[in-house]
Amino acid sequence: MNLIRNVVLALACGLLSTSAGAQTIEDLKRELGAKNALINKLEQRLNKLEKKDQSGAFLSERTIGDKPATFSTRKAEPATKSFSEPNAVLATPRTPVTAASPDDDEFDQALERTLVREGALVLPPWTSELTPQFSYAHWDKVQDPFLRNSYSAAMTLRMGLPWTSQILATVPYAYDQFRDGSSASGIGDAGFLLSKELSGESDWIPNLVGSMGWTSPTRLGNTFTPIPYVSGFQAGLTASKRLDPLVVFGSVSYFSSAARDIAGTRFDPADVIGARIGGSLAISPATSITAGFNLAYLTNTQPTDFVVVGSDRVLSSVDIGLSTILWRRTLLNVTAQFGVTGHVPDFRLIASIPVRF
């Protein structure tokens, strides 16, 4: 464009310089009229070339390679030009081209992360989640005449597998305070759980996840599950349905409790049929709240279950939790649980920090 402009100016100056040889004023006027007509014609040609160049610039923004790109629909401002400055630049404001981010939005969704914790979703294949957990539980004399407080810490690893499945392994450490002033500490009930998504969610069908696993019985229990101090074989089924921004879920489970030795005495606790129902509400993409009701039934009670034979076989509790994204791929969950009936803690507080990688 600068070259064309310089050519126009040079021609104008050359034409004007030849006017000095004109003999009369009339000859000079005719020559000036002819020169002005030529200059106007050259300016029109230059404007057409400028418009063609602008069209090509916008076309290059609309296509990247052979694929369309995202661009702003705002109209471009007209180009500005000035012939008073020989080196003036034709400026056309442009809006930057933006492409869709390849990052997985699920990594930053508190609601999705909460559903994984609830067992209603499984991780994508080969995605891992390492979760340090902390728990405090208080028992009153009616629920447990011997145990006063329980403190637990655990490390849990989840890993997504092919075929929409997932494996979970957890190792807890427990510290118990008894009413007589004594205490006990050590490795708690370690275990693993294999989960498989059985069906995806559709208009009328909920998302279904089945699971089964094993928890090793030790002299110290695990206070992280909705039904504490249950070990042995377990199996369950969890269903969830989205009602944006709410997700409702429900689960049923069976625990075939394994016997354990405590202080030289053999304990054979009852098998348990459990159920949980609740919902998670997304307050924002980074924060969600969850409320749930837990119910369990002891199938064959023993004296160690602190249950009068033939009565009080129902264990129940309610809980409410908050999940929030701390930073990229790191979630904080805090849950408070309150015992209602049966041998469950009067109050329990659980905190976990799942880190996904």
* Residues 229 and 291 placed together within one structural domain of the fold: yes
Listed residues 84, 100, 116: the one ending a domain: 100
* Residues 226 and 330 placed together within one structural domain of the fold: yes
As for how many domains the chain has, the answer is: 2
Is the pTM above the cut of 0.85? no
Domain residues for the domain of 123 are 106-356
Residues 6 or more apart whose Cβ sits within 8 Å of residue 66: none
Q: What is the DSSP string of 87-103?
A: T---B---PPPB----S
Q: What is the mean pLDDT of residues 59-71?
A: 40
Taking CA atoms, 1 is separated from 10, 61, 87, 201, in Å, by 14, 21, 10, 60
Listed residues 100, 133, 152: the one ending a domain: 100
CA distance 215 to 220: 12
What does the pLDDT read at residue 261? 63
Taking CA atoms, 194 is separated from 133, 164, 173, 232, 258, in Å, by 20, 11, 22, 14, 19
* Residues 69 and 172 placed together within one structural domain of the fold: no
Taking the alpha carbons of 126, 107, 117, 149 in that order, is the dihedral positive or negative? Answer: positive
* Residues 91 and 200 placed together within one structural domain of the fold: no
Structure tokens at 200: 């995806």
* Residues 8 and 25 placed together within one structural domain of the fold: yes
pLDDT tens digits along 217-273 = 776 766 666 666 677 888 999 999 999 889 999 999 998 877 666 556 666 677 889
What does the pLDDT read at residue 43? 79
Q: What beta strand segments (E) does the chain contain?
A: 63-64, 67-68, 128-138, 147-161, 165-178, 183-187, 191-199, 207-215, 232-243, 246-257, 260-262, 265-267, 272-284, 287-298, 314-327, 330-341, 347-352, 355-356
Pick 188 or 277 by higher pLDDT.
277
Q: Which percentage of the chain shows pLDDT scores above 70? A: 68
* Residues 176 and 231 placed together within one structural domain of the fold: yes
Least confident of 99-108, 189-198, 234-243, 342-351: 99-108
